[in-house]
Amino acid sequence: MDISQRIELALDATVTRATSSGCPKQLAAALSYAVFPGGARVRPRLCLAVATACGDEFPLLADSAAAAIELLHCASLVHDDMPCFDNAELRRGRPSVHQNFGEPVALLTGDALIVAAFELLGRCIPSEPVRAARLLSIVGSSVGSPSGIISGQAWECEETVPLAEYHRAKTGSLFAAATTAGALSGGGQCDLWRTLGEKLGEAYQIADDICDMVADPAIRGKPANRDADRGKPNAADALGLDGAIQRLKRLLGEAVECVPACPGQAELRVHIARSAQPYLPKELALVAA
Residues near a copy of itself, by CB under 8 A: 17-28, 31, 75, 79, 82, 84-85, 102-105, 107-108, 110-112, 114-116, 118-119, 121-123, 125-126, 129-130, 132-133, 136-137, 140-141, 143-148, 150-151, 153-158, 165, 169
H runs (alpha helix) in 36-148: 42-54, 59-80, 97-101, 103-122, 129-143
| Nearer to a copy of itself among residue 144 and residue 217 (C-beta) | 144
Task: List 94's β-bridge partners, or say none.
Answer: 91
Q: Is the dihedral of CA 161, 252, 238, 284 positive or negative?
A: negative
- Kindly state the smallest distance separating residue 261's Cβ from a copy of itself, in Å: 28
Q: Which residue, among 233, 222, 210, 219, has the nearest Cα to 284 in the 3D structure?
A: 210
Q: Closest approach of Cβ 185 to a copy of itself, in Å?
A: 16
Q: In this complex, which beta carbon is closest to a copy of itself, that of residue 153 or of residue 277?
A: 153
Cβ at position 64, least distance to a copy of itself in Å = 13
Q: Max CA-CA distance within the chain? A: 53
Binning the chain into helix, strand and coil, the percentages to the nearest 5 are: 70, 0, 30
Q: How far is the CB of 211 from a copy of itself (least distance, A)?
A: 24
Report d(CA 209, CA 155) in Å as an integer: 17
Closer Cβ to a copy of itself, 133 or 228, answer by number = 133
Report the alpha-carbon distance of residue 183 to residue 34 in Å, rounded: 27
Q: Tell me how far apart the alpha carbons of residues 239 and 246 are, in angstroms, rounded to a whole number.
A: 10
To a copy of itself, the closest distance from the beta carbon of 125 in angstroms equals 4
* Cβ 193 to a copy of itself shortest distance, Å: 20
Do the Cβ atoms of 199 and 75 come closer than 8 Å? no
Choose between 108 and 284: whose C-beta lies nearer to a copy of itself: 108
Kind and range of the H or E run holding 94: strand 94-95
Q: Which is nearer to a copy of itself, 49 or 62 (CB)?
A: 62
> Sign of the C-alpha dihedral, residues 121, 124, 126, 132?
negative
Q: Are 243 and 267 in contact (CB under 8 A)?
A: no
Nearer to a copy of itself, 6 or 131 (CB): 131
Minimum distance of a copy of itself from residue 276's CB (angstroms): 27
Q: For residues 49 and 121, which CB has a smaller minimum distance to a copy of itself in the complex? A: 121
